[in-house]
Structure 1
Amino acid sequence: MSFGLVSVPIKLYSATTNHDVRFHQVHGADGGRIRYKRTCTVCGEVVEYADIVKGYETEDGELITLDESDLDSLPVASGHEIDVIEFVPADQIDPMLFDKAYYLEPETKAAKPYALLREALAETDRMAVVRFALRQRESLALLRVRDKVIVLQTMLWPDEVREPAFDILDQDVDLKPQELKMASSLVESMGADFDSADFHDEYRDAVLELIESKKEHGDARPAPVEAKKEDEGDSMTDLLSALQASVEAAKGKAGAKADPEPEPEPEKKPARKPAARRKKESSEEDKPATTRKRRTA
């Protein structure tokens, strides 16, 4: 992280997590996971990962496809610096632009310049607008202070925020002074200091309580062990397995092409030589003809 001529070595950590209760789609009869095959809507065939490319449909209905070589030609941001562009008043930032938050931890030797930037932001009530590389793409973000830590707050690009267009809001609404005063009074009567600890996800709590109740009443059963097949990678979570299987299959095909083709069956006549050799040896020993015929047969 750099501002002016000051550089602050830092580490970046995700500041948020998702505690939603996640469910799997399973077969009600035996509990097996439901998988989905990647099928082509035109020919109906199952498509392997190796045959999938990215497609962009234009507004006039044309399809443009991009393969890996096309994507590799695009410019990517690979720097590891968070460069401060400018410092702006905090009240000028629309929270609508906020995306994902990360905590910045300074290295031991950088504790002082880190604290200097933190206190300067807090003292001036400003945020730092920065550019940095995230997943090889240039991203826009803010540096803001939360307690004693500097938070890197990624932002949406301005054209990613939709403009509201509701005709009904353009109409003039007649608000009487008495009505406005009553509404303001209601707001004041319900006023409070916000504390996020006062709130919790009641739906999630109810789901976990329901799951625990079913477990206590014996409704739980062992999760079935799925038979793994190399030719089935229907879930996006099986991407790594699917890629590994594709690599092994490609190697197998290459090896099959490299192996020499087996000789035609008629050319395997030398396999009868041992019998002929025994016949010759028997004749050299002057054995009876009947014996020679039996051994040859």
Structure 2
Amino acid sequence: MSGLDDTATRGGTAAEEVDTAAGQPDAEPETVATYAGSGRKGLGLLRMRGEAIVLHAMRRPDEIRDPSELAPAATKPADNEISQAEHLIDRMTRDDLESPDFTNHRTDAVAKLVEARLDGRELPKTPEPATSPRTTDHAGHGPNGPEATP
């Protein structure tokens, strides 16, 4: 057994340097290494990326699968599924969205502010809400901190 194989089977790493940096003054050193992981030996390329050592695992041809195998099979929905979907869409569609309940007051207020600003008029006063909204921080505390939470 060679020194590389022996080291990899013991769970260590053995490496031999690759001369990829020849003639390149700022190139990072690269090393081909055998490694052991998940109960198997592998071959990889070690590189420096900043302060980290990165292992690029190399795969053997029998380990690479054709990605077309992973694509889902083409299916055609049944006629009753299409009719049920159309029925659901018809039931959930609303035509009465022109009521005052669906008025965007914020957009109207911003439009008034922009018009006043463009005309050089005094900005309209924003009415204060009748009650202040209840807020909760991300830790689940009430508006006055953890001591106010029941």
TM norm. shorter chain > 0.5: no
Larger Rg computed on CA atoms: 1
Of structures 1 and 2, the one scoring higher in RCO (CA 8 A, sep 6+) is 1
TM-score, normalization by structure 1: 0.16
Q: Under a length normalisation based on structure 2, what TM-score does the superposition of the two structures give?
A: 0.30
More helix by share: 1
